[in-house]
């Protein structure tokens, strides 16, 4: 099956004022398959935005290439299938959000009504009738997202889609992305919100200094259980002895559990065992802070 | 349904079965050259006839 | 024409530029001038000549200022250019949108002046008066395309400043140099440069037509050539600028 997006050895240097060169993206290779959500995680300046722009050829790569659906990124039939929402998009100030969307609908050859429907779906009905000059950052973000979704894209690239949005907006975007995946679309998103990335992404690329440090498979990477104990400190020695694969951190005991399909069997067994050992279980959470730990380990270099 | 089809070896990949119309974004439409050249030709002709 | 112009972009530009308060204000001035400058001995050009020509040129500057750069610098052009259209079509759409506003404003001023002429019974002037409209719009479109060509490479609204400076600067040289250095005999040279320095005022053709004088089409054809050449340069410069920006 052709990848929706394939990047091969993408490299991009920026010239700095002193005459030097800054490597923004360094030999980056990855692909996004249809029906997959891939996240890029990394600190500010890691090259995440540049990577997206290179994929769409909004910037030319110094080396390497990107293909959209196996086609050149400038191929017009590929572009018809791509949606892109940049970080902090700006629109013609005197046009209303709806007029901007109508323009994009016409360019894509989709019915204008589609723009109206999308605006309602994104709870954006009232602001969409005002000139974009009056928009807040979150409203600009929503308009940027709406124009990206307009043509029912098969590949969606989102740069910090949740920045500037309220919690309801963030939840809505999560739902949207899951819906897109369900119909076979591919999504590549940049974010610094680890919890969001962990909740929706199938795979995560950790980037730092323009390089991909690791590709992490969120779903098959196993899960971990986080158990809050009322008597954690008293249990420390016993837990170390009986469950050495886990780690106690204050009142929280974190332990890897097998893949999601056997969680229903593993978690009750874990709780039973803890209770037998004399632990007073207050709360059990699945998923835990695995991505955060990986992020700190890989990107920040903390053990 | 998968919207992406694998292209047979040597053929151009297609999206939704569409013909791949790779338009080189660097291209300047030929029509614009023709219109400019046509207008220049008419102007020169008028100059010559006007003498 | 769809290879040259993206009509959705043209429509959006028409909305954006046409409903700007300054555009509407100058159009109103043109209408008022068309209404009151129509006197017994005029032949139709008063909607675009003399004092009105100043306002008409101001409208061109306003419509062309930042025509390309506004969209590029806001980043919206990047989003639009990710759609299935070429850079040439996008630029053609921007130019066509501004051109439509210009034609609408010019036509309105001209129409008012025509009606004013009819009210005083000047029906015999009709052929000349009808011809005035395209003859006024053609060089105006040439200037607008020139603004697009300069704007394809310039920042913000500097394209309008550059065009204004180039026109005023040459005007100053054209009339100043022969006065300052009468012995050099620069006048014929400067006159011949002037005839090719931008689109030419061709309203006189309407007068030639009206009064059965000898018809001189080369000015009209020059303006037509200038319009397409400036458009072509705009597309080429914009392509080069975009590629340079992507590589910078």
Cα Rg for chain A, rounded, in angstroms? 22
Cβ distance C232 to B28 less than 8 Å, yes or no, reads yes
Cβ distance C232 to B39 less than 8 Å, yes or no, reads no
The answer to the question of residue A303 being in a domain is no
The CATH number of the domain holding residue A44 is 3.40.50.300
d(CA C145, CA C98): 10
d(CA C3, CA B29): 7
pLDDT the model gives residue B6: 42
Q: Looking at CA atoms only, how far is residue C32 from chain A in angstroms? A: 27
User: Which domain-ending residue is among A217, A245, A276?
Assistant: A217
Cβ distance A77 to B25 less than 8 Å, yes or no, reads no
The string of pLDDT tens digits covering residues A3-34 is 999 999 999 998 888 888 889 999 999 999 99
Which B residues, 1 through 51, put their C-beta within 8 Å of a C-beta on chain A? 1-7, 12-16, 18-25
| Band (A222; pLDDT cuts 50, 70, 90) | low
The answer to the question of residue A290 being in a domain is yes
Average pLDDT over residues A121-135: 89
Average pLDDT over residues C213-236: 93
| A125 and A153 housed in the same domain | yes
DSSP codes, C214-236 = ----HHHHHHHHHHHHHHHHHHH
The string of pLDDT tens digits covering residues A167-176 is 888 888 888 9
User: Which domain-ending residue is among A193, A217, A241?
Assistant: A217
- Residue A203, helix vs strand vs coil: strand
| A231 and A290 housed in the same domain | yes
pLDDT the model gives residue B15: 42
pLDDT the model gives residue B2: 36
What is the DSSP code (8-state) at residue C21? H
Give the neighbor-by-neighbor strand order of the sheet with A252-257.
A247-249, A252-257, A223-229, A281-286
- The two beta strands, A5-15 and A37-41, are unpaired
| A182 and A231 housed in the same domain | no
Q: Looking at CA atoms only, how far is residue B28 from chain C in angstroms? A: 6
d(CA B24, CA A73): 11
The string of pLDDT tens digits covering residues B13-45 is 444 334 444 445 556 788 999 999 999 999 999
The CATH number of the domain holding residue A242 is 3.30.70
Q: Would you tell me how many other CB atoms lie within 10 Å of the CB of residue C54?
A: 11
Cα–Cα distance list, C187 to C169, C172, C181, C199 (Å): 16, 13, 10, 20
| Band (A259; pLDDT cuts 50, 70, 90) | low
**Structural domain tally of chain A?**
2
pLDDT the model gives residue A8: 94
Q: What is the interface pTM, i.e. ipTM, of the complex?
A: 0.89
Residue B7 with chain A: CB contacts under 8 Å:
2, 70
Size of interface A-B (CB pairs under 8 A): 53
Mean residue pLDDT across chain C: 89
Q: What percent of chain C is modeled with pLDDT above 70?
A: 96
Range of the domain at A212: 5-217
Residue C105 has pLDDT above 50, yes or no: yes
pLDDT the model gives residue A102: 94
Q: Looking at CA atoms only, how far is residue C77 from chain A in angstroms? A: 9
| A182 and A256 housed in the same domain | no
Q: Taking the CA atoms of A276, A280, A283 and A286 in sequence, report the sign of the dihedral they define.
A: negative
Nearest to A184 among B1, B6, B13 (CB): B1
pLDDT the model gives residue A45: 86
- The subunits that touch chain B, with at least 3 C-beta pairs less than 8 Å apart, are A, C
| A185 and A261 housed in the same domain | no
The answer to the question of residue A257 being in a domain is yes
Range name among A154-163, A192-201, A258-267 with the lowest pLDDT average: A258-267
d(CA C204, CA C139): 13
d(CA C120, CA C127): 16
pLDDT the model gives residue A281: 92
pLDDT the model gives residue C184: 85
pLDDT the model gives residue B25: 56
């Amino acid at each position: 099956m052709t990848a929706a997006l394939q990047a091969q050895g993408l490299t991009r240097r920026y010239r700095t004022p002193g005459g030097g060169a800054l490597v923004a993206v360094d030999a980056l290779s990855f692909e996004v398959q249809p029906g997959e959500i891939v996240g890029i995680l990394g600190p500010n300046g890691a090259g995440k935005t540049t990577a997206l722009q290179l994929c769409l050829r909004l910037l030319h790569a110094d080396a390497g290439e990107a293909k959209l659906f196996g086609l050149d990124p400038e191929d017009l039939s590929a572009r018809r299938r791509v949606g892109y929402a940049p970080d902090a998009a700006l629109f013609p100030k005197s046009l209303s959000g709806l007029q901007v969307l109508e323009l994009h609908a016409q360019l894509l050859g989709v019915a204008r009504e589609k723009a109206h429907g999308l605006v309602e779906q994104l709870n954006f009905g009232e602001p969409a009738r005002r000139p974009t000059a009056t928009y807040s950052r979150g409203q600009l973000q929503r308009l940027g997202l709406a124009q990206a979704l307009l043509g029912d894209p098969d590949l969606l690239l989102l740069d910090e889609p949740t920045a500037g949005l309220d919690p309801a907006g963030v939840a809505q975007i999560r739902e949207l992305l899951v819906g897109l995946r369900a119909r076979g679309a591919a999504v590549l998103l940049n974010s610094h919100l680890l919890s969001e990335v962990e909740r929706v992404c199938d795979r995560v690329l950790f980037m730092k200094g323009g390089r991909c440090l690791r590709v992490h498979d969120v779903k098959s990477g196993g899960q971990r259980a986080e158990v809050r104990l009322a008597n954690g400190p008293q249990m420390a020695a016993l837990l170390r002895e009986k469950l050495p694969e886990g780690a106690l951190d204050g009142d929280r005991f974190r332990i890897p559990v097998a893949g999601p399909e056997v969680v229903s069997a593993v978690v009750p067994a874990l709780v039973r065992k803890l209770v037998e050992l004399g632990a007073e279980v207050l709360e059990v959470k699945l998923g835990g802070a695995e991505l955060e730990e990986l992020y700190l380990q890989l990107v920040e270099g903390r053990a | 349904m998968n919207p992406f089809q694998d292209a047979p070896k040597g053929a151009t990949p297609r999206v939704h079965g569409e013909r791949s119309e790779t338009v080189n974004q660097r291209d300047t439409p030929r029509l614009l050259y023709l219109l400019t050249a046509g207008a220049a030709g008419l102007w020169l002709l008028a100059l010559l006839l006007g003498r | 024409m769809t290879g040259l112009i993206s009509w959705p972009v043209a429509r959006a530009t028409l909305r954006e530029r046409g409903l700007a308060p300054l555009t509407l204000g100058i159009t109103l001035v043109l209408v008022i001038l068309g209404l009151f400058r129509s006197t017994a001995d005029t032949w139709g050009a008063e909607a675009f000549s003399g004092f009105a020509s100043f306002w008409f040129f101001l409208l061109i500057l306003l419509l062309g200022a930042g025509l390309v750069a506004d969209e590029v610098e806001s980043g919206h052009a990047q989003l639009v250019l990710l759609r299935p259209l070429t850079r040439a079509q996008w630029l053609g759409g921007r130019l066509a949108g501004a051109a439509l506003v210009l034609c609408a404003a010019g036509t309105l001023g001209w129409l008012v002046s025509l009606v004013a002429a009819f009210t005083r019974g000047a029906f015999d002037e009709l052929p000349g008066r009808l011809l005035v409209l395209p003859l006024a719009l053609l060089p105006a479109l040439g200037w607008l395309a020139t603004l697009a060509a300069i704007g394809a490479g310039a920042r913000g609204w500097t394209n309008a400043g550059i065009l204004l400076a180039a026109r005023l600067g040459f005007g100053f040289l054209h009339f100043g140099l022969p006065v300052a250095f009468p012995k050099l005999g620069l006048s014929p040279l400067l006159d011949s440069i002037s005839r090719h320095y931008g689109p030419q005022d061709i309203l006189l053709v309407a007068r030639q037509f009206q009064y059965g004088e000898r018809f001189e089409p080369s000015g009209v054809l020059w303006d037509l050539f200038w319009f397409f050449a400036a458009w072509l340069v705009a597309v080429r410069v914009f392509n080069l600028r975009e590629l340079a920006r992507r590589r910078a």
